[in-house]
Amino acid sequence: MQDCLIPPLIQCSPTAKNTNRMANDSDHTLPQDEQPVPTGHAVIHAYLKTLDSSPGVYRMLDRESRVLYVGKARNLRARVSNYARPSPQHSGRIARMISMTASMMFLTTRTETEALLLEQNLIKQLKPKFNVLLRDDKSFPNILVTGDHSFAQIKKHRGAKKEKGAYYGPFASAGAVNRTLNQLQKVFLLRNCTDSMFQSRTRPCLLHQIKRCSAPCVGLISEADYAQSVKDAERFLSGRSTDIQAKLAGQMAEASEAMEFERAAALRDRIRAMTQVQSAQGINPRNVDEADIVALHLEQGQACVQVFFIRAGQNWGNQDFYPRVGADVDATEVLEAFLGQFYDTKEPPRQLILSNEIENPDLMAEALTGKLGRKVELLVPKRGEKAELVDSALRNARESLARKMSETATQTKLLRGLADAFDLPEPPARIEVYDNSHIQGTNAVGAMIVAGPEGFVKNSYRKFNIKGDDLVPGDDFGMMKEVLHRRFKRLQTEDPDREKGMWPDLLLIDGGAGQVSAVAQIMAEHGVEDIPMVGVAKGVDRDAGKEEFHRMGKRPFALRHNDPVLYFVQRMRDEAHRFAIGTHRAKRAKSNMKNPLDDIAGVGAARKRALLAHFGSAKAVGRANLADLKAVEGVSEGLAQKVYDFFHDT
């Protein structure tokens, strides 16, 4: 099932002038154009005469045309009529939503299933205030066994499945994939190097020396034997590990009888590694081959959804999510909204084993079945192994939410303390912390991290490759000015009205008065005058705990050595430093790995391999004379001259 692509019928909202007359014909105290836009039941009721019984999606908007709520309906007229008059069945949340509604928009679809898919797409795009919203929607990693090479590569894969090969997953985290890959390499000795590295090897790499790879790159294993190892690895990832273990045990016994003790020891180590993979996967279900276990716990207006991934009869980890919910939503609404948004960009399994019923299970199953191309079943078990799996997931959800609520309470207290310390009008909801990293001006990067009521917001972190050609190497002030200039320019383009929550409530700059002055200059150039900005500088001894805080036009000050707010600022500053250093190291490593032959026009992958095979290294190519370059197979006289001129251009 794909998103609905048919041209929708869009019912435009009544104009402010018309709705004013409908709501209050007798009000003549203000000029027509200055009368407030009415809201509530009467506004919603005015739409009923334009609606029919088609399925579709509706949007409720406030006076500023901001989307309050997105909903689906089997019958648009019947659904909207529920909002058109007061009802004791309306919860406080729904009543507030109706009271704020100034206009509505409608999109019709062919079926209710298409309406469900379209509703979830719009919720993720528009993030309405009154909808249940899945805030963490990252992709999950898989293991890929490539299928476009005679010696298949095994590796971690995240994102769209565009590469040819067999995918196994999802795994709950990159750590779970890395651990599994590490053990699989010990068992099956499959390569993880790139194809280009595979082609350029002339001798086994370190992984072969430590018994993690069979070195197919230099012919130490035949193509047939390597293909058998690939087949065994795929069988193991498909849950058929018992016969593989038995086969390895038989080979070990044969090697021992033949007194091939070194080979027997290697097989023993592979069996041990396979056992470690199985034990690391936790408790594997006996009768569940492919399913996601989805359990919801609600408490004090907050929610935690715990998802366990069961594939090939193996537990491949779990992940918790904290969707945004209201104080009076029920479990059926939260779980249905979660499923629709979670599987919008992910492939569902054959079974979803749920802790609670949802409002439209048949509709959700139909939508997911269309997406997967095979039947998807939704279950709410009451007894047996599946119920035990749900109970385990529920326990995890309950414990995770308790920890989250405790951390949130602590974070809220720290944010209040931060507001008091820096004279802010209210606790900041979004703090942006900036830092730079470089070595004598080379590979310079800027880094921004974000913190808020829920701690560090890692999907909002940003890195900036310093581009200023006129910067003096090592000019920290200039680098900070470039980073903030690019940041505010982007904010003014992407969120000019400050309605998307992208603007910070507080800027923390790693540095003293000089950095603060440089940043203040950039903020003034962009007309940003209402965002507090503080520089965090080490004291005279550069000791943690003696930080000084700098603000424009005010004297520097310090906090008590044991003040929790000081520790909070230090954690944010250290996180920004960690992120900046990591980004700089990655850039430097990439720069160090760059081959100068890549910059020579006409030298592609094949000729690069030929040159490296002939001379051994790019440095040796650079030292070669013209005659030696011409002697390389596949290198013409003209190309040899190009290569020679590249390295000898004065």
Q: What is the pLDDT of residues 63-114, one digit of tens each?
A: 989 999 999 999 999 999 999 988 888 888 899 999 999 999 999 999 999 9
Show the CA angle centred on residue 311, arms to residues 309 and 316, nearest 5°.
Answer: 50
Task: Say how far residue 538 (Cα) sits from the centre of its chain.
Answer: 34
Q: Measuring CA to CA, which residue among 170, 138, 167 is closest to residue 234?
A: 167
Task: Say how far residue 623 (Cα) sits from the centre of its chain.
Answer: 46
What mean pLDDT value characterizes the chain? 84
Instruction: Dig out the tokens for 169 from the structure.
Output: 């997953």
> Strand pairing partners for 433?
449, 508
* Residues counted in the chain: 650
Q: Measuring CA to CA, which residue among 441, 436, 442 is closest to residue 484?
A: 436
Amino acid sitting at position 602: G
Cα dihedral 226, 231, 237, 240 sign: negative
Tell me: the pLDDT tens digits for 546-591? 789 999 989 999 998 888 999 999 999 999 999 989 888 887 776 6
Across the range 493-511, mean pLDDT stands at 89
Distance CA 597, CA 594 (A): 9
555 burial (CB, 10 Å; 0-12 / 13-18 / 19+) is exposed
DSSP 4: P
Give the ranges where 10-103 is alpha helix by DSSP (H). Answer: 16-23, 41-45, 76-83, 92-100
Give the pLDDT band (50/70/90) at residue 389.
very high
For 155, the 3-state DSSP assignment is strand
Our CA dihedral for 264, 270, 271, 277, rounded to 10 degrees, sits at 170
Cβ distance 350 to 337 under 8 Å? Answer: no
pTM listed for this prediction: 0.73
31 burial (CB, 10 Å; 0-12 / 13-18 / 19+) is exposed
DSSP 343: T
Give phi and psi for 337, each to the nearest 5.
-65, -40
Distance CA 382, CA 84 (A): 39
Give the ranges where 132-173 is alpha helix by DSSP (H). Answer: none
Domains and CATH numbers, the chain: 16-126 (3.40.1440.10), 142-280 (no CATH), 291-311+319-329+350-403 (no CATH), 431-581 (3.30.420.340), 596-648 (1.10.150.20)
b/e per residue 504-515 (b: at least 16 CB within 10 A): bbbbbbbbbeeb
pLDDT for res 200: 82
Tell me: the pLDDT tens digits for 614-623? 887 777 888 8
pLDDT above 90 covers a percentage of the chain that reads 43
pLDDT above 70 covers a percentage of the chain that reads 88
Cβ distance 434 to 486 under 8 Å? Answer: no
Give phi and psi for 375, each to the nearest 5.
-65, 135
Going by C-beta distance under 8 Å and a sequence separation of 6 or more, which residues neighbour residue 612? Answer: 200, 597, 618, 621
Tell me: the pLDDT tens digits for 352-371? 999 999 999 999 999 999 88
In the predicted structure, residue 375 carries a pLDDT above the cut 90 = yes
Helix (H) or strand (E) holding 317: strand 314-321
Give phi and psi for 158, each to the nearest 5.
-130, 140
Amino acid sitting at position 259: M
Across the range 120-134, mean pLDDT stands at 91
Give the ranges where 309-449 is alpha helix by DSSP (H). Answer: 331-342, 361-372, 385-421
**Placement of tokens 């509530």 in the chain:** 40
Tell me: the pLDDT tens digits for 166-196? 999 898 888 888 888 887 888 889 999 988 8
In the predicted structure, residue 31 carries a pLDDT above the cut 50 = no
Distance CA 638, CA 109 (A): 63
Across the range 234-240, mean pLDDT stands at 81
Cβ distance 450 to 431 under 8 Å? Answer: yes
pLDDT for res 385: 92
For 565, the 3-state DSSP assignment is helix
pLDDT for res 233: 87
Distance CA 174, CA 191 (A): 19
